[in-house]
Amino acid sequence: MSRVSARQGRVSTVTLRGHPTWARVPARGRPAVILLHGGMSSSRSLLRTIGPGLGAAFHVGAFDRRGHGRTADTAAPFTYEDMAEETIAFLEFLDRRVHLVGHSDGANVALLVAKSRPDLLKRIVVVGANFHYAGLMPFPLLTPEDPGFAPWAAKYAALSPDGIEHAATVLAKTNEMFRTGPTLTPADLRAIATPTLVMAGDDDVATLAHTATLYESLGEAQLAVVAGTSHALLKERTSECVAIIDRFLRQRLPVRTRSPLRRAVAGHFPGD
C-alpha cells in the first residue's frame, strides 16, 4: 500500500512497500512521464537535465529508490527485481498508465516493469541499459580506496538521511548487484510488448552488440545511438536527447518508413 503525506503534484513522501520514499508526484491533466534514475544517483540528476524539456508536453514525476537520494536505506540487499517492485508500487499509487524514462539502472528496472506489468505503462525509454550483466564493457567498479570515492560519498551524504557513514555500505550493495544482475534473456525481451525506445551513447557502458541485441529482441522498438557520447549522454547532449525522447513518446505508432525490413508489415511497401 502507498499513501501521500504531502501535497499531490509537488514533492511528497509516499510509502512504498512499507518504506517512506521521496517522490515528485506528477499532476494530472497531461500524460505523465516518470523518470527512473541510475545507480548511486538520485532523481535530481534527471529532473535537472531532461526533466525541464520533457515538461513542455508532459507532467514529469520521479522517486528516489530505497538507499538512493533522499530515501533512506534498509538492511536488505539491492536487486533489480526489488527495484522493479518498488517502481510498480509507485505506479500503482499513481493509479494511471504512464511513460517510463529510465537511465542506466533505471533503464534496467523499466525493462523488468514492462515484462511483468505492461498494464501500468504506455511506452518506455531505456537509456544506457544492459539487460544482462554480461553485456557490460570491462570497467573497474568504484571502491572505498579509490580517489573518486570521497567526492561521491560527499554527494551521496548531501541528500541521504543515512549520512556519509552509510556510503560504503551502499557502494558495496551496488557493486554486488552489478556483478549479478540483471539476468534477462532475449526470450524475456521478446515477451515485452510495450513500445520501447532504446537509447545509448556510442561509447556507453554496454557493448554495442549487446545494445543491438536488446533492440532487435524487443517486439516494437526503436533505436537511437547518439554520436560522440558516453553513458552520460543525457548530460552531454541534453537538448538532442530530449528531442529524440519527446518525438518517440508523441509519435503515432507503429512507425511507418519507406523501406521497412525489420518493421515490414503486410501492405506496406517502399515508396508508399
pLDDT category at 10 given cuts 50, 70, 90 is confident
Distance of CA 13 to the CA centre of its chain: 20
Listed in sequence order, the residues at least 6 apart from 130 whose beta carbon sits closer than 8 Å to its beta carbon are: 108, 136, 182, 205, 206, 210, 214
Read off the pLDDT of residues 204-257 as tens digits, 9 standing for 90 and up: 999 999 999 999 999 999 999 999 999 999 999 999 999 999 999 999 999 999
Read off the pLDDT of residues 213-225 as tens digits, 9 standing for 90 and up: 999 999 999 999 9
Listed in sequence order, the residues at least 6 apart from 196 whose beta carbon sits closer than 8 Å to its beta carbon are: 114, 123, 124, 125, 126, 218, 220, 221, 222
* Cβ atoms of residues 125 and 249 within 8 Å: yes
The pTM score is: 0.94
* Cβ atoms of residues 221 and 215 within 8 Å: yes
AA identity, residue 97: R
11-250: which CATH topology?
Answer: Rossmann fold (3.40.50)
